Every structure is written in structure tokens, then in C-alpha cells.
Amino acid sequence: MDQQGGRAALNTPVLILDLDALNSNIAAMAAFAETAGLALRPHSKTHKCPDIARLQIRAGAVGQCCAKLGEAEALAEAGVTKGLLITSPVVSVPAIARLVDLNAKAEGLMVVVDHPVNARALQAAAEVAGQTLDVLIDIDPGLHRTGVTSSEAAEALWREIAGSAALRFKGVQFYCGAQQHIPAFEDRRQAIVELAEQARRVIAALKEAGAEVSMVTGGGTGTHRIDVELGLFTELQVGSYIFMDRQYGECALAAEGGAALFETALMIDARVISANTPGLVTIDAGLKAFATEAGAPPILSGAPKGAQYRFMGDEHGAVIYKDAEPAPQLGDLVTLVAPHCDPTVNLYEAYHVVQGDVLRDIWPIAGRGRSQ
């Protein structure tokens, strides 16, 4: 659809994806994982987009992680069925029925489990459907979000799985979500190295009990350089590296002297719609255009140097600047960075994919709102 100057004619606010930066980020992480000898199963909760999943798989990824069953269904509906791993337990009766349906369509589907009651429910549903369902044990790194909290609990859960004819044990998941944004690299390394001991203990206990732990999946964009040093993981489930955002932009992703591998690929274009106050213009992007839990979106271009964004309600934001010539004018385009990429993406129907000012494509965010 290549449209010269097409970006400037888009209705705003609009979610912009820089194709060159995206491709560069995908290639850089693929090369990084290959060098480390680990498989790459990127997390689709970041992008929720079959087009991006296909680019990652083409670059060598073994599949896609999905935070929820609904995300996995959205990928499968678009034909992306390879190596799907659902990284949260699927627990409710209607959800387990959908899981079994998806397992019939998406070969090699995997789901994590963290409780024997859930394992029994999965076993019962898979058995009735005449299926084998692949499962991983989720290990809690101390966040108390999901996962088993002790070796004893892991072993009891494994025995439940091992005794379930319709379930096949694949390995474990260990994701340190709370540590991804520790600002200093060395602090982050120390936290992860300590937490990894818990995973090692659980894995040792499972092996001692007779389990074959063929997969250890986890890791994130904030810790990927640390994750590969642990000798723990067989694969990485990084997500945000494809876009980068304010949160990761403020973290040192490599040790001192290490090169930055990833660049900002995701932006929001907005426009000035009111300009009646000295030092302040209002743009058409507010609480419904950005995730709000990670601070204000940084301004990338289109406003005087040093200008700051401030939320001004559902549909508006202020761009506040010190006296500058030329002052922003009605209709001017202002480009901002997502404060937190995943929930920002979840507000939009599509990526507008650009190279510079040329609109190259529009990719539907098929998994938007698919949190069920």
C-alpha cells in the first residue's frame, strides 16, 4: 500500500510502527539467542499481532508465548499455530473447554499449571476429548502472582501430571516479572542470580523424583543478558525488545560498556488541537491513547526541545514547553513514545507501519482486548 507522505495524512492519535527498527530488533534478538544457544519463544502479549508473530518465527523463533488463552486463539485464528505456550494457568470451566478446542487446532500447544486441582481439571477435559495436552509447571519466583512456591508443591503437582494419562509433562516456567525494570544492570543481575536458586532447587527436586525436564522457559527483555548466563533456561520468552518503551528506555539493558541492541520502534502520532495558552498546547491524545501506569509518554519530535507531556483527561494531553520559537501551531504533528508498550498497544485496533514518512502497511492487532 506504499503511500508517500501517507503518515502525515493519518487520523490521530495513531499507533505508528517503524518497520526498519522493528526488523532490526527482531534480527538482533534472534542472533542473540542463537549465539547463546537458546531457543526463542517471544511473548505475543506485547504485540498481539499475527503479522509480527510471523516475522519473529521467520527469524527463527520456535513459536509464541501468550499471556491468555484469548491471545492464543487470536493468533491461531490468523493461522499462527506453531509452538504456542500459554503462560498463565487456564482454570475456569468455560476456558478449559476452549483450551481443548484450541489444542485440537494448534499442534504442540502448551499451558502452564500451578495446582493439582487445575491439573485434574485439565486431565479430565483432555481425556474426554481424546487428546494429549502438554503442560509445564509454573514456578513462583517470589512475586506470588502464579506458580508453585516450593519444591514439595512442584513435586506433588508433577506426580499428579505424571499420573494423568492425557497430560504430558514438558518442563517448567520461571519468569521474574518484578525484576525486569530494576534500573541498574548490576542490581538486576544480583536479584536474578539469587532468585534463580529457587528454580534450580525445584528443577533438582523434580529430576530427583523422576521427571524429565526438557524445557525451562522464562526470561525477559530487562534480564535477557543475565538469563543466558544462568545455565538454567532452554529458551527465552522476551517480548518488549521489538518495540522498546519508556520503561525499558530508562533501564540499562547491558553491563557497563555493552552495546544497546534495540531501538524505539513504537510511537504515537498526535496533533495540536488547541493553542490558546502561552507555553502550552493541547494534543488529541490522553488516557485513551496511552497506558497510564508507567508515567507520561516522552516526546520524540514535533515539539520544542525539552517539552513535556502531561495527561489532561480521557482524550487530551498538554505539551508544556519553555518559550520557544517557533511555538507549536494548530494541526502540528507531535510524536510520542509509549510509556509501557503492552497496555498501550492494547488500546489500538492496528499498527500503522511506516518507513520514515511512507505508510507501508496496516497490521491488525488481532489479540487486542483478548484477555479472556
d(Cα 36, Cα 45) in Å, to the nearest integer? 24
Interacting positions 76-115 with a copy of itself (CB under 8 A): 88-95, 98, 114-115
- Give the residue, chosen from 104, 117, 124, 260, that forms a contact with a copy of itself under the rule CB under 8 A: 117
CB of 144 or CB of 305, closer to a copy of itself:
144
- Read off φ and ψ for residue 176, nearest 5 degrees: -95, 75
Give the helix ranges, DSSP H, for 78-165.
93-105, 116-128, 151-162
CB neighbour class for 199 (10 Å; exposed up to 12, middle 13-18, buried from 19):
buried
Question: Interface with a copy of itself includes 4 (CB under 8 A)?
Answer: no
Strand partners, 173: 138, 217
Question: Interface with a copy of itself includes 70 (CB under 8 A)?
Answer: yes
75, 53 Cβ separation under 8 angstroms = yes
Determine the length of the chain: 372
- Give the residue, chosen from 7, 14, 136, 299, that forms a contact with a copy of itself under the rule CB under 8 A: 14
Question: Interface with a copy of itself includes 354 (CB under 8 A)?
Answer: no
Question: Interface with a copy of itself includes 293 (CB under 8 A)?
Answer: yes
DSSP symbols for 224-245: HHHHTTTT--SEE---GGGT--
Q: Which is nearest to 242 in space by CA: 15, 24, 8?
A: 24
Tell me how far, at minimum, the Cβ of 295 lies from a copy of itself, in Å: 11
Question: Which cell is 367 given?
Answer: 489479540
Question: Interface with a copy of itself includes 251 (CB under 8 A)?
Answer: no
Question: Which cell is 358 given?
Answer: 511512507
d(Cα 184, Cα 188) in Å, to the nearest integer? 6
Question: Interface with a copy of itself includes 308 (CB under 8 A)?
Answer: no
Stretch that binds a copy of itself, among 162-170, 215-223, 230-238, 315-323 (CB under 8 A): 315-323
Question: Which cell is 39 given?
Answer: 531457543
- Give the residue, chosen from 30, 52, 84, 153, that forms a contact with a copy of itself under the rule CB under 8 A: 153
Question: Interface with a copy of itself includes 207 (CB under 8 A)?
Answer: no
Question: Interface with a copy of itself includes 288 (CB under 8 A)?
Answer: yes
CB of 29 or CB of 365, closer to a copy of itself:
365
Residues at the site binding a copy of itself, with contacts judged by CB under 8 A: 9-14, 45, 67-68, 70, 88-95, 98, 114-115, 117-118, 140, 143-149, 153, 177, 271-277, 280, 282, 284-285, 287-289, 291-293, 311-316, 318, 330-331, 340, 342-343, 346-349, 369, 371-372
